[in-house]
Amino acid sequence: MNSASIDQINSKVVTFGEVMMRLATPRNSRFPQTDLLQLTFGGGEANVAISLAYLGIEASHVTCFPDNLIGKAATQYLRRHWVNTSQIRYGGEEMGIYFLEQGAVHRSSTIVYDRSHSAFALADASIYDWEQILKGKDWFHWTGITPALSRMAAKSCLEAVKAANKFGITVSADLALRKGLWKNSEEASVILRELVNYSNVIIAGTRELDLLLDDTKGSLDEKVQKVQKLYPSVTVIADKDRKSRNASINTIKGMLWNGKRKITAKGLEVTHVVDRVGTGDAFAAGLIFGLLTMEKQEEALDFATAACALKHTIEGDANMVFEEEVMRLASGDTSGRIIR
């Protein structure tokens, strides 16, 4: 990858997961109203890679695409947005797709998936050589979506975190429970517990934490404490609190538990949401960036919250903002004045 044109930071991050074609109706229109769809690509982990790349991190994404025009276009999308694509595998027949209608005010956004037989979900675990991929890297990031896609994807993910642990690479995970993808919650519980044992930083809310615990009683803070006791590898647990006044006005506030204390970020009200998708991934990328480059976790959390807030103003899945833009907001300048 070349990120010569953006301030370079020496950390190297690897992300792993499915990338889908995103087909969105143009702003405000519904499916039966349009004859044009906006074509981009996205996925929970690739979104993190793009965000990090814009922040100056050397970010590689690992995935599998069909070896045709569409798979090539997906790789080209990641290259365009600064991601290192040298570890992408090609094979299989079809690309995961998701259709998106953006909501507004009281009208919800609607997503329809077409991903059940994607090249990624069907790919054999053997196509990824994790030792070769992760050698010399600093951070590995996965999400709870990947192991939910197929047995094979779960296996690949497990091999990846094991290899990362072997090399002493920090592992982060956004557990992001998607009930529609798992057979049942037991399956989710068994697989995620094993993966979390190899992870160091996890993003999880009540629903995700419950999957890691046999005893799910107690407050969020108590759950966090239990998870930190049960999974000693996990040094940081984070989450973001979202208040949705409606689809166009959301308030975001990051929270982080580091085993010693709970840190809460300044809340940010996003008064005119442009695109709600991928805001969690922007938070994750901001957190990874903060933990990699900042001295205090408070700073990292404010950075993650600001990154998340800014993502709401960017169309598409990924957070295409620069470090200085996030820093300006994280430092408290909410004015949005023109930069000349």
String of contacts with a second copy for each residue 303-322, x by CB under 8 A = ---x--xx-xxxxx---xx-
8, 10, 86, 206: which one contacts a second copy (CB under 8 A)?
86
| Own/partner long-range contacts of 99-103 (Cβ < 8 Å, ≥24 apart) | 99/23, 99/24, 99/31, 100/22, 100/23, 100/24, 100/25, 100/277, 101/24, 101/25, 101/29, 101/30, 101/31, 102/24, 102/25, 102/27, 102/28, 102/275, 102/276, 103/247, 103/276
Decide if residue 112 touches a second copy (CB under 8 A). yes
Taking only Cα atoms into account, the Rg of the chain, rounded to an integer number of angstroms, comes to 19
**Nearest distance from C-beta of residue 312 to a second copy, angstroms:** 7
* Nearest to a second copy of 22, 223 (CB atom): 22
43, 44, 71, 290: which one contacts a second copy (CB under 8 A)?
71
Residue 91's SS3 state is coil
Residue 250's SS3 state is strand
* Nearest to a second copy of 67, 194 (CB atom): 67
* Residues 72 and 100 sit within 8 Å (Cβ to Cβ): no
Decide if residue 289 touches a second copy (CB under 8 A). no
* Nearest to a second copy of 75, 170 (CB atom): 75
Residues 22-51 that bind a second copy (CB under 8 A): 23, 27-40
* Nearest to a second copy of 37, 152 (CB atom): 37
* Nearest to a second copy of 162, 178 (CB atom): 178
111, 185, 186, 216: which one contacts a second copy (CB under 8 A)?
111
* Nearest to a second copy of 98, 198 (CB atom): 98
Which tokens sit at 68?
A: 């045709």
**Nearest distance from C-beta of residue 294 to a second copy, angstroms:** 20
9, 70, 125, 127: which one contacts a second copy (CB under 8 A)?
70
136, 168, 232, 336: which one contacts a second copy (CB under 8 A)?
336
**Nearest distance from C-beta of residue 169 to a second copy, angstroms:** 21
Which tokens sit at 80?
A: 């365009």
* Nearest to a second copy of 107, 155 (CB atom): 107
**Nearest distance from C-beta of residue 229 to a second copy, angstroms:** 32
Residues 235-274 that bind a second copy (CB under 8 A): 244-249, 268, 270-272, 274
**287 sits in which H/E element:** helix 279-293
Q: How far apart are CA 75 and CA 276, in angstroms?
A: 24
Q: How far apart are CA 104 and CA 67, in angstroms?
A: 37
Decide if residue 76 touches a second copy (CB under 8 A). yes
CA distances from 212 to 21, 56, 102, 237, 239 (A): 31, 34, 33, 13, 15
103, 125, 235, 298: which one contacts a second copy (CB under 8 A)?
103
Residues 207-236 that bind a second copy (CB under 8 A): none
Decide if residue 9 touches a second copy (CB under 8 A). no
Q: How far apart are CA 36 and CA 28, in angstroms?
A: 13
**Binders of a second copy: how many residues, by CB under 8 A?**
95
Q: What is the dihedral of CA 152, 154, 155, 159, to 10 degrees?
A: 140
String of contacts with a second copy for each residue 117-156, x by CB under 8 A = x---------------------------------------
Q: How far apart are CA 193 and CA 204, in angstroms?
A: 13
Short-list 48, 1, 301, CA closest to 172: 48
Based on the number of CB atoms within 10 Å of its own CB, is 33 exposed (0-12), middle (13-18) or buried (19 or more)? Answer: exposed
* Nearest to a second copy of 80, 166 (CB atom): 80
